[in-house]
């Protein structure tokens, strides 16, 4: 049996849907039965409740599991949550953990300079030292983060992508691509001890991203460059908590220092997944960019 954690979240729900789409049976770990409703009825998906921070709640979820795709929130005690889960998985005899990790696409980017990547590295090291078989899947920034309703998304009312990153380029990847790789990786052999980095197919400026959204929606969106403190104030006023603001400040400052991004498509190629371009992503989500339906 394959277990996916974080199954009600942004990435986890797309991954679980991809298992269902491909008719591959999967068990989905959820902690909130209300949020789990969106997974009920998906073919081949067994929903099991449990809290990754409370090992005593994980017995049913871990029973008979051969591989786990380990996902949790970057905003919620990620190191503690994932390390507690790894300990529980080892105790239950799970042989292989696939870590849904993360990697910045910036050329020369120092992973230690940003809380997100530093925490992923710390968890990766802990899994490698656990004695279990491991694989790391490391997507770059998600295209989904430009959709309205996320802290970094466009403002659908002003029709603006308001950012503080200058002309730096990022190489966002569609979560659907990561999900396809995840299903292929979890259902084939020979990935133990390997790390798979993924970006999208282009390194884009915010201006270019706004142009793609304009073309896909038939409505003019523009990139508005804000001073860093103004952007942070805007996020604060929208309710972004202080720890997340500190992380965003670090990230934007580092990305301004390193304006170029790598494009890494080896993982797409290795698993036969066609890379989704931003133009295609924007067309698929045009209504969401206009704020007329959810993403
Ligand atoms: N943002 C990016 O561009 C980016 C790029 C690459 C990698 N990543 C990484 O991708 C991962 C997933 O991010 P995401 O935005 O998809 O996450 P997300 O939407 O915040 O979802 C996190 C999921 O983890 C669950 N969870 C958290 N704590 C739990 C616990 N104690 N027990 C059980 N479930 C728990 C949440 O459950 P509830 O629904 O109940 O809250 C939710 O289902 C993160 O590690 C992130 O760093 C992000």
* SS3 labels along the chain: CEEECCCCCHHHHHHHHHHHHCCCCEEEEECCHHHHHHHCCCCCEEEEECCCCCHHHCHHHHCCCCEEEECCCCCCCHHHHHHHHHHHHHHCCCCEEEEECCCCCECCCCHHHCHHHHHHHHHHHHHHCCCCEEEEEEECCEHHHHCCCCCCCCECCCCEEEECCCCCCECCECHHHHHHHHHHHHCCCCCCCEEEEECCCCCECHHHHHHHHHHHHCCCCEEEECCHHHHHHHHHHCCCCHHHHHHHHHHHHHHHHCCCECCCCHHHHHCCCCCCCHHHHHHHCHHHHCCCCCC
Q: Which residue's alpha carbon is at the smallest distance from atom 3 of ligand 1?
A: 141
Alpha carbon nearest to ligand 1 atom 36, residue: 6
Q: Which residues of the chain have pLDDT under 50?
A: none
**pLDDT at site 210:** 98
Domains defined along the chain, listed by start? 2-140+175-199+263-275 (3.40.50.720)
Report the separation in Å between the CA atom of 72 and the middle of ligand 1, taken as the mean of its atom positions: 4
**What spacing in Å lies between the alpha carbon of 76 and ligand 1's midpoint?**
8
Tell me what pLDDT residue 152 has.
82
Q: What is the pLDDT of residue 113?
A: 83
pLDDT digits (tens, 9 = 90+) for 113-164: 889 999 999 999 999 999 999 999 999 999 999 999 887 899 999 999 999 9
pTM value surpassing 0.85: yes
- State in Å: Cα 228 to ligand 1 middle: 26
87 touches ligand 1 (CB under 6 Å): no
C-beta 73 within 6 A of ligand 1: yes
CA 64 – ligand 1 centroid, Å: 24
Distance between Cα 74 and ligand 1 center (Å)? 6
pLDDT for the residue 151? 76
31 close to ligand 1 (CB < 6 Angstrom): yes
Give, using CA atoms, the residue closest to atom 25 of ligand 1.
6
Q: What is the pLDDT of residue 131?
A: 95
Is the CB of residue 141 below 6 angstroms from any atom belonging to ligand 1?
Answer: yes
């Amino acid at each position: 049996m394959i277990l996916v954690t974080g199954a009600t979240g942004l990435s986890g729900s797309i991954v679980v849907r991809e298992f269902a789409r491909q008719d591959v049976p999967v068990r989905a770990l959820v902690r909130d039965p209300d949020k789990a409703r969106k997974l009920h009825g998906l073919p081949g998906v067994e929903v099991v409740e449990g809290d990754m921070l409370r090992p005593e709640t994980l017995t049913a979820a871990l029973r008979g599991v051969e591989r786990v795709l380990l996902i949790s929130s970057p905003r919620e005690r990620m190191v503690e949550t994932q390390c507690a889960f790894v300990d529980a998985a080892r105790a239950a005899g799970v042989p292989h953990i696939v870590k849904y990790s993360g990697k910045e696409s910036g050329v020369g980017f120092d992973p230690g300079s940003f809380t997100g990547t530093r925490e992923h590295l710390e968890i990766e090291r802990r899994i490698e030292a656990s004695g279990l078989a491991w694989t790391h899947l490391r997507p770059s920034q998600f295209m989904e983060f430009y959709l309205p309703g996320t802290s970094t998304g466009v403002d659908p009312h002003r029709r603006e992508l308001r950012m503080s990153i200058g002309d730096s380029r990022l190489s966002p990847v569609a979560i659907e691509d990561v999900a396809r790789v995840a299903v292929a990786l979890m259902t084939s052999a020979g990935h133990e001890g390997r790390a798979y980095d993924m970006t999208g197919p282009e390194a884009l400026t915010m201006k270019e991203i706004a142009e793609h959204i304009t073309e896909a929606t038939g409505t003019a969106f523009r990139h508005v460059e804000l001073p860093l403190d103004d952007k942070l104030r805007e996020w604060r006023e929208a309710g972004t908590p202080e720890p997340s603001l500190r992380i965003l400040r670090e990230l934007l400052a580092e990305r301004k220092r390193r304006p170029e991004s790598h494009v890494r498509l080896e993982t797409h190629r290795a698993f036969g997944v066609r890379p989704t371009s931003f133009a295609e992503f924007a067309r698929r989500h045009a209504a969401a960019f206009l704020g007329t339906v959810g993403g």
